[in-house]
Amino acid sequence: MDTRPIGVFDSGVGGLTVFKEIRQLLPHEDLIYFGDTARVPYGGKSIKVIQKYSNEISRFLEIQGIKMLVVACNTASALALNRLKNECSVPVIGVIDPGVRAAVKAANGGLIGVIGTRGTINSEAYQKRILRLRSGIEVLAKACPLLVPIVEENVIDSEIARLAIHMYLKDFKKVSSLILACTHYPLLKNVIRDYLGPEVALIDSAEETAIEVKEMLQARRITGDESHIGLDQFFVSDSPESFTEIGEAFLGRPMQGGCFLHSWQNDD
């Protein structure tokens, strides 16, 4: 029995989609979430900068005594995951591989689409993993940089969101499955589904990542006390107030009653 918390981090609030799935699957585990809201988005930043930010946050979470680190950010998973696995003293899980497996299965040999930040798409992390899992399959990938600020500004159900979806996805109506390769994008699922139609399987890796977290906890024998009610704790690098407003939309519940919100600044 291991009562230490699980650490989850993202460039902003998008990783709360992963956090929510972990909480639902593992109600007895304590969770700590870090949202780097002062430096969001990561998508247009260099590999060196993303690795630096990811390292800073992982060190901070390790100081909090975590037993596992979940990189709930596609850009960081694409560009910093291997480095974090080498440098962290705890197991590290990213969000790419779980999403790829689900997309390949749903596509059933058809065309797979991938949308994400510039950093994620340019890294070709998803494209390479898809082809490694199913060689010869066709992949259509595109960066959609405007979608993160649309979610961060909480204008999801708006004409701006619909225009952006049309601009980015007009060539994606032929795909069999579409990987939402950014943890912000699941909040746009309804808009994307309305545009592409119900025949396209929309894949977000949050649920699959939560399953992988559970399996790794069991494999490493570091599961928590199942009689315990898990505690949620949140850290942000900028305003807790704005994080709370959009965060409650992500979680589908108030951030209160056992949820502690802290503002954090890196001193380096």
Q: 178 and 106 in one domain?
A: yes
Residue 40 resides in a domain: yes
Give the C-alpha separation, 52 to 43, whole Å. 14
Q: Domains in the chain: how many in total?
A: 2
* pLDDT tens by residue, 173-221: 999 999 999 888 988 999 999 999 999 999 988 888 999 999 999 999 9
The CATH number given to whatever domain includes residue 198 is 3.40.50.1860
- What pTM value is reported for the model? 0.85
Q: 90 and 107 in one domain?
A: no
Angstrom distances, CA of residue 136 to CA of 111, 123, 169: 10, 19, 23
Residue 16 resides in a domain: yes
* pLDDT tens by residue, 94-125: 999 999 999 999 999 999 999 998 989 999 99
Q: 162 and 227 in one domain?
A: no
- Among 186, 204, 222, identify where a domain stops: 204
* pLDDT tens by residue, 75-101: 999 999 999 999 999 999 999 999 999
Q: 230 and 155 in one domain?
A: no
Residue 176 resides in a domain: yes
Domain that holds residue 137: 96-204
What interhelical angle do 125-133 and 96-107 show, nearest 10? 50
- Among 162, 187, 204, identify where a domain stops: 204
- Among 154, 177, 204, identify where a domain stops: 204
Residue 118 resides in a domain: yes
Average pLDDT, integer, range 33-39: 92
Q: Which residues are catalytic?
A: 73, 182
Q: 120 and 134 in one domain?
A: yes
Residue 50 resides in a domain: yes
Q: 131 and 114 in one domain?
A: yes
Residue 268 resides in a domain: no
Q: 214 and 82 in one domain?
A: yes
For the chain, give percent helix, strand, coil, nearest 5. Answer: 45, 15, 40
Q: 123 and 190 in one domain?
A: yes
Residue 1 resides in a domain: no
- Spell out where 144-241 has E strands: 177-181, 201-203, 232-236
Contact 262, 240 (CB under 8 A): yes
Choice between 35 and 256, residue whose per-residue pLDDT is larger: 35
- The answer for 252, left when phi > 0, alpha when psi is -120 to 50, beta otherwise, is left
- Spell out where 96-211 has E strands: 112-116, 139-143, 177-181, 201-203
